[in-house]
Structure formats: C-alpha cells, structure tokens
A = this chain, B = another copy of it.
Amino acid sequence: MSTVAGGGRRADAVRNRKLALDAAIALLSEPGATLTVEAVARKAGLGAGTVVRAFGGKDALVDAAVSRLLQPVVARARDLLAQTGPEQALRVFLAELIAFQSSHHLISEQLGGLDLPATTTLRAELVRAVEDMIAAARRDGVVRADLEPEVIAVLIGESAFAIARSSTTSGELADAYITVMMDGLRPQ
C-alpha cells in the first residue's frame, strides 16, 4: 500500500482519493452501473482528472476498489475455517461467496483486460484459503483424497464465480450448485 495518511501529499488530495475510492466501490455494488472514470468522478463530486491523478490510472483505481471489497471475503474464509469444522466452513463460505459475487457482478466484468496486481494477489489468497479448507476436510476424511486440494480450490473458485453471475435472481441455482459440489467432493 502506498500511503496510510499524508505521505507528503496535501490534505485535499488525500480526502479526494478516499472519495474516489468510495465512489468506485459504490458503483461496483450498483446493478447496471458502468464503471467509467467519468461515472466515478460524478458520484464522488470530483473532476475526471482528479480521479485519475489520485490513482495514476483507471486500472489502479479499480484494483484498489476491488481488492478493498475482496479483503473481508478472504478474512471471512479464514475465520470460518478457524471457528467451524472444515466441511461446514466450506459449505457456508460457498454460499456467502456466491451471494457476494451476485451483488457485485461488475467485479468479474471488470477483471477482463485490466492489470490488477492487488486483486490478483487477493484472489490467490482466497484460493489458498479454500485450499486449506479442502486439505483440512480431507484430513477429517470428509473430502475425497484422489484429487489435489489445490486443483479443487481452483475448480471451486472458477465455477462459483460463474454460478454467481447467472444466479442473480433465482438462488435455486446456487443451492443446486452447492449441493452437487459438496456431494461430489465427498469420498466416493
């Protein structure tokens, strides 16, 4: 992270950076919104130039916003694993992950073609957390041992995102996905 507070920058610059970030985050949660620099600037009450300058480019802005959103998700995965049995943790996390993605589907649309280092790192951490869940569940004998935890984690990461994108309305699809997935992951 570049700066916590100040860093030699003027107070208004720091404040505006926060405004722009908040606006971008808000837009990511708004269904049907378009994440353009202009839209962020309007929502933040700033000029387009100010928004770009605060982050050095649109990519960095999106990166900051998305990773800010993703952070609690990763933390939640860790918490669940620490507090619950791995199987239950995985089931609950899957449901929450899909719900999160459903209400922020702009995220996955933005991921294409942009360079988002922080987001990429965080996504890897998320996969890693799932991998730990799988590994723990496997030690308990409740997840099949003929597939590598890493492969399963990636599998879940990819497919869950896809399910989330098209289950904005139903919820039935998400439930079916979790059911099939959890059953398919059990030792056969």
Contacts and interface: CB of A to CB of B under 8 A. Distances in A.
Interface of A: 109, 112, 144, 146-147, 151-152, 154-155, 158-159, 161-163, 165-166, 172-173, 176-177, 179-186, 188
A46 to B, nearest CB: 27
Contacts of A147: 176, 179-180
Given A158-B162, A182-B184, 12 more contacts: A144-B183, A151-B172, A151-B176, A152-B180, A155-B163, A155-B176, A158-B165, A161-B162, A179-B184, A181-B184, A183-B183, A184-B184
B183 A166 contact: no
Contacts of A161: 162
A184 B183 CA distance: 5
Contacts of A185: 180, 184
B176 A166 contact: no
Nearest to A152: B176
A7 B185 CA distance: 56
Which are the 5 A-B pairs with shortest beta-carbon distances? A184-B184, A162-B162, A180-B184, A159-B159, A183-B184
Contact of A158 (B166, B183, B186): B166
Contacts of A179: 146-147, 184
Contacts of A162: 158-159, 161-162
A159 B157 CA distance: 11
A52 to B, nearest CB: 24
B152 A159 contact: no
Contacts of A173: 151, 154-155, 158
A186 to B, nearest CB: 8
A162 B162 CA distance: 6
